Amino acid sequence: MEKKNAYLNVYLGPVKEPWANYCKTLGKKPGAAIKEAIEQQLAKAEANPQPKTYRQTETDKETKERFEILLTISEKAAVKDRATTERCSMRRWIVDAIRAGLTNEPQLSMLEIDALGESNYQLLALGRNLNQIARRLNEGHYEPITIERIEALSRLIDKHTDAVSDAIRASLERWSIVKKL
């Protein structure tokens, strides 16, 4: 590393004087104390690396490998109930739970995918309605915008946001464990 690139300039503003006084009590120069603090943080980071984020895309399929787990009777029953509720197999539900834990990304159930598909359809219809109004106005034609038409568009927006909110809520709730008293 070149010497000119080995320096770090830091604006301390009002903390410079208290920092200098603190370093004086330690018998260290402020720059040396900052360097030591940085070295300590880097050593901690090396000792405790951040967990990896895993991601698999459709174009990057990996071969599958068998992995066996043992569950208690109640755990297996709970997995079966959740899988049935979400219209998927127990295997699919377990894989989704693992992926959610590894990637911190939602794993959507078939119900949620259906809801989001319908929501997207409604959103596209809303966009077509707005485009028709805009086109007519841009052509210089009078476009009567009635309260009923605005309310219809508003209902479509509400329906869309409800579907998206429900899917987000369901995805978040799926992977949290609730203790029963």
Query: Domain ranges in the chain?
Result: 10-46, 64-107, 108-181
Model confidence, pTM? 0.40
Residues 132, 137, 142, 145, CA torsion sign: positive
By the 8 A CB rule, do 79 and 94 touch?
yes
The H or E element containing residue 125 is helix 110-138
**In 3-state terms, what secondary structure has residue 12?**
coil
pLDDT digits (tens, 9 = 90+) for 72-113: 999 999 999 988 887 788 998 888 888 877 776 677 777 777
> 50-63 as b/e, with b when 16 or more CB fall inside 10 Å?
eeeeeeeeeeeeee
Q: Higher pLDDT residue, 15 or 141?
A: 15
Q: Quick check: 165 pLDDT over 80?
A: no
pLDDT at 76: 93
pLDDT band at 58 (very low <50, low <70, confident <90, very high): low
